[in-house]
Structure 1
Amino acid sequence: MFPPGHYGMALALYAVVGYALLSRGYVRDALSGGGIVLSYTLFPDVDGQFEFLVHRGVTHTLWFALAVGVFCVLVVASALPNRPRREAVRGALWSFFLGSFAVVAHLLADVLNPWGVMPIYPVSPALYSLDLVRATNDAANYAMFAGGVAVATAAWFAGRRADRRSSLARRLYRRLRGRESVAE
């Protein structure tokens, strides 16, 4: 797929995660996580910049997804030592998830076209392809992008609505903790 198709797939898949976060009140985490996933979702196509890498080779595997997750942990590691241990571990796991998730979203978009991917190469040379649409099909790429935007928008409104309908116990807890005004 071309970038619009990859962005659409990443948005559609992340919408589930975003909804879960939004419905629990983690708006900042949902939005920043979505931005990170979108920024890393084209990372597997870095193989086009290097002559010694084959396109849809090692950068289009689950091993690369794990490596990108570790890379994301290293990127945020400079901020983690100053945090409490539990918060640092949570931040490291979250960054690992986001980096790996972005690459997996890329792989799933590439499975839709005839060239497919070999997700566990070199352990197995099995090629996975649904052969639904060619990667060069502009209409399919923009349709996937529009679909991803629609799903992400629906998740945003549904998640925000679920947050407003929080239980009486949750509202009372938030008031006691000073997170919510009394005039709700």
Structure 2
Amino acid sequence: MYRIGHFGVNAAVAAIFTVLTAPVASMPLRMTAVVVILAFASLPDIDTRFAGMTNHAAVWQRVPVQHRGVTHTVWFALCVGTVTAGAFTFVPWRSQTNLFIVLFIGFTAGFLSVIGHLAGDVITPAGITPLTPLDDTKITLRWCTASNRIANIVFLVGGTILLGVTLSISVITAAVT
């Protein structure tokens, strides 16, 4: 899936996340999580940046990074979640919310940003191996190719609409209460 498709899938993930966390998290905290989920939508594809490096980046030539390798695993999602949980302790409105909830929201936002990306890649024929190196089983649904322009646009538009509706309802609900 291309960047726009991943953004759309993560927008849908962010919409569901916003609804499910409404009872426990403040609006600013949830909006920060939405930004993280959307901003990190293509983070696992950072591995493509390493593929064509020249001698200018000799360090990365020694690191065996392949596309849809380690950055497309549950382990990477757990790492990203852990880092974002720590980062969320520094948000200005953290004092308004219980520390456990802040850590939970931060971890979940980072974790889901990668899981949303993996969901976008699992529908392609290339698939993913999310439990590498413990299990090298490739998972693929083969619904469409990553380059399918229509699928990428459908995910972008559908996810964006879902997130827009969800955020609108959240803002209206917050204003009423």
Shorter-chain TM range is 0.7 to 0.9
Report the number of matched residues.
162
Q: 1:158 aligns with which of 169, 173, 176?
A: 169
Identity of aligned residues (%): 27
What TM-score, normalized by structure 2, do the two folds share?
A: 0.80
Unaligned runs of 5+ in 2: 52-63
Which digits, 9 at most, give the CA deviation of each residue in 1:151-175, with x for residues without a partner?
Answer: 1122123334544665xxxxxxxxx
Q: For structure 1, which segment, 90-99 or 23-32, has the greater mean C-alpha deviation from structure 2 after superposition?
A: 23-32
Match of 1:75 among 83, 87, 98: 87
Q: Distance in 1 between the 2:85 and 2:171 partners?
A: 29
CA deviation after TM superposition for structure 1 residue 54, in Å: 0.6
Name the amino acid aligned to 1:12. A
* TM-score of the two chains, using structure 1 as the length reference: 0.77
Larger radius of gyration, structure 1 or 2?
A: 1
Q: Helix, strand or coil for the counterpart of 1:71?
A: helix
Question: Residue 54 of structure 2 aligns with which residue?
Answer: none
Aligned positions of 1:27-176 closer than 5 A = 27-51=27-51, 52-76=64-88, 79=90, 87-163=98-174
Residues in 2 aligned to 1:92 and 1:105: alpha-carbon distance in whole angstroms? 20
Residues 150/108 of structure 1: CA separation in 2 closer, same or farther (3 Å cut): same
Please give the alpha-carbon distance, in whole angstroms, between the structure 1 residues aligned to 2:138 and 2:24. Answer: 39
Q: Structure 1 residue 143: deviation in Å?
A: 1.2
Deviations 1:96-150 (A, max 9, x none): 1111110000000101111111111111111111101110112211111000011
When the two chains are superposed, the root-mean-square deviation of aligned CA atoms in Å is 2.4
